Amino acid sequence: MAQPNPVKVLEVCRVAPPPLSPDSTTPKSLPLTFFDMLLLKFPPTQRLYFYETSHPTTTFLEVVVPKLKRSLSLTLQHYIPLAGNVTDYFREAQNFNPFLPCLVGLETRVPVLALQVTLFPNVGFSIGYVVHHGVLDGKATTMFMHSWAFICTHGEYSTLTPELTPLYDRTLIVDPSNLEMTYSNFWLGRDGPDKKSLALRDRKAPPDAMLGTFLLTQEDIENIKTWVWFWWKKKQLQKPSFHLSSFAIATAYTWVCLVKARQIKTEKFYLGISVDCRGRLKPPIPPNYFGNCITSLIVDADSDELTGENGVAIAAKAIGEAIQGLKDGVLERNGDLISRYTTIPPGRLFNIVGSPRFEFYKTDFGWGRPQLQLIKLELSLFQILEMVVVGLRLGSY
């Protein structure tokens, strides 16, 4: 049964960028690269930022909202694609749902971005967004949010810093294996009569979905790392050639906990790790590239091993070796990536999304940093359970 909406809608509006100047180099449309095509029909990305303030409703509507709208309009002049739609050129955790917007579109036309600002009178407010994953990845989305916060804080005459200025040059993405055609054919071949449709699934959390925030301190990480090294030495394993990073340790520990929660024995489980390709392409492309530029590592292990006494050590070894393999080339296995995902049995794949490098907690619009940042936990297109360890500060890997 549908739950009543606890949010009172005060205003629904469209915020447009100001007219572009004649000398503007911001493109009005962008072609999709093979990175974009891979994610064309994936569920959209959603995130909530909560800010603690003491604004009553009147002040919020008369001061905060206009400032957010004005700075959003000014930011969009640098991010014109976010004010547009994805068009079809093919020829042949429930309680938080009310605070998240929807991408309401047609079968052949879907907006790229929707935003929602929700006031909790005299307590604070939240900013929620949903973006089309076929247009940009998490790094590009976060760059936009930081840009919006920067302009909101510094005023309408401020100039974006170089790292916040989006780069739209699609010629930087080289596709020697014609992966764009591979992914296009996949989407055309899997959806039957709806193969032309760009409609996205509703990502509102089902009634039984849960959200959680878990903090692993640096001391926790080091203790787990010490134990893993002890197990490898005890088993007389050769010292691995890869760096045992905080990322590998935290991910291994989380993967084991999630597998244990499923309580499924003698089955193989998989872990997908999103990888930013910008600095790993040959040649590398700048970090401010706007669009999708990610791939995924897929590692696997038997549930009996992961839930056993040495599960974290086994998981850390598999993850560390997979990351080490990126040095041989980040796209060498990308051609069969989508087919690998589709052959994994439902409910057996956990996917790591988001990154502490995105620095969500630095998104300050002038009223302080976010108090709590949430990403949704639920099954997505290929039965991927998306999760992130929020608040964890990790070293580089």
Would you name the residues annotated as active-site residues?
133, 364
Name 372's bridge partners. 50
313 φψ region: left (φ > 0), alpha (ψ -120 to 50), beta (else): alpha
The residue length of the chain stands at: 397
Question: The tokens of 97 are what?
Answer: 């749902």
Under 8 Å between Cβ of 204 and 97: yes
Residue 105 carries which side chain, given as an amino acid letter?
G
SS3 at position 257: helix
Taking the CB of residue 187, how many other CB atoms lie within 10 A of it?
19
Bond before 346 cis per omega within 30 degrees = no
Element (H, E) at 37: helix 34-38
CB neighbour list of residue 68: distance below 8 Å, 6 or more residues apart:
117, 127, 152, 365
124 φψ region: left (φ > 0), alpha (ψ -120 to 50), beta (else): left
SS3 at position 126: strand
CA separation for the pair 152, 163 (Å, rounded): 17
In Å, how far are 121, 187, 335, 360, 380 from 296, measured between CA atoms? 42, 18, 11, 22, 15
E strands, the chain, are 45-52, 85-87, 109-111, 113-120, 124-131, 268-276, 294-302, 349-352, 372-375, 384-387
Residue keyed to tokens 């990845």: 137
Nearest to 280 by CA among 330, 332, 355, 323: 330
